[in-house]
Amino acid sequence: MLSLSSAEDPMPYRIKTVADLIGVPRATLLAWERRYSVVTPERHNNGYRAYSEEDVAVLRAVKALVDRGLKVSEAVSQVKERPPIVPRGETSALDSLRRHLFDALLAYDRDRAIGLLQQTSMMSFEVQIERIYKPLLTDVGEAWCEGRATISQEHYATGFVRERLTAMLVALNAGPRGGGRVLCSGYSDDPHELPVMILAIYLALAGFRVMPIGVAVPVEALARAVRDSGIQLVCVSLTLPRSSAEVRVFEEKLLNYLPMDCTVALGGSGLPAEFTPNDRVRLPGSVDHLISLGRSLELRS
């Protein structure tokens, strides 16, 4: 079933996505690489540049310094003299940050939480999601289940994370213009929105143009959105446990409303492992597999 966790190696970013994410034209990024060796992205066999999360963090840091008035050469020099922003294998600092953020949110201390997040300004969105926000949500949920946090505290912390994820989607502009278009939705009566938002962010980072429509959307309304937009790939997140029979009814009803050229991808912790899908429905199993599926479909922009 689809997991929102990244693969062992973080997803590489294409130059178009990096340009949109950093706010620097593609030609400028290429000039920075050529003149200042600011980063050295890997090259795939097809010629595409593949930028790592560290590359994105470095470019974001250079852009921030240039915006403050430094020359590009000066900004690159300063950034290269800094210690690594998120050393590989080093999680203690992020664990400490997450614990402090947990305490601040349960104390309803927004100013303190915002101050703590200044430490993440040079981190990639993927690092923030995987190493801070997702573990934080787990910690808060466990605290509520164990009686160490009230429902109000849980809702406050969740709302704060929702704000951060919304800001990421806004910064990404829901993905680059011209990217293959994908609709992201929750299951028809599933209230959990954050997995849908995280999925949309990862797809936008991978170069897709996402259209998140939220959660608890009736099948008929979801299908209407697909027909009106011409989208060819629908991703549905299931968070609450479902039976195979229940998912089968949902699948059949949805496919009955959708155009024949539309593919559905189902995933999430609520999808039963034994579920066998229709030929038009895919179970990617991971975000990376979903991205590969989307690229293989040659989606309309």
pLDDT tens, position by position, 116-145: 998 887 788 888 998 999 999 999 999 999
Taking CA atoms, 290 is separated from 66, 102, 199, in Å, by 36, 31, 10
Helix axis angle for 151-172 and 15-22, nearest 10°, is 110
Give dist(CA 251, CA 266) in Å, integer. 9
Average pLDDT for 25-46: 87
**Residue 88 — pLDDT band, cuts 50, 70, 90?**
very low
**Residue 77 — pLDDT band, cuts 50, 70, 90?**
confident
**pLDDT 10s digits, 231-270:** 999 999 998 899 999 999 999 999 999 999 999 999 998 9
3-state helix, strand, coil in the chain (%, to 5): 55, 10, 35
Q: Do the beta carbons of residue 210 and residue 182 sit within 8 Å?
A: yes
**pLDDT 10s digits, 183-203:** 999 998 888 899 999 999 999
Q: Which residue type does 193 have?
A: E
Asked whether the CA dihedral 213, 219, 220, 225 is positive or negative, the reply is positive
Q: Which residue type does 115 have?
A: G
Q: Domains (ranges, CATH) in the chain?
A: 15-81 (1.10.1660.10), 92-121+123-172 (1.10.1240.10), 181-296 (3.40.50.280)
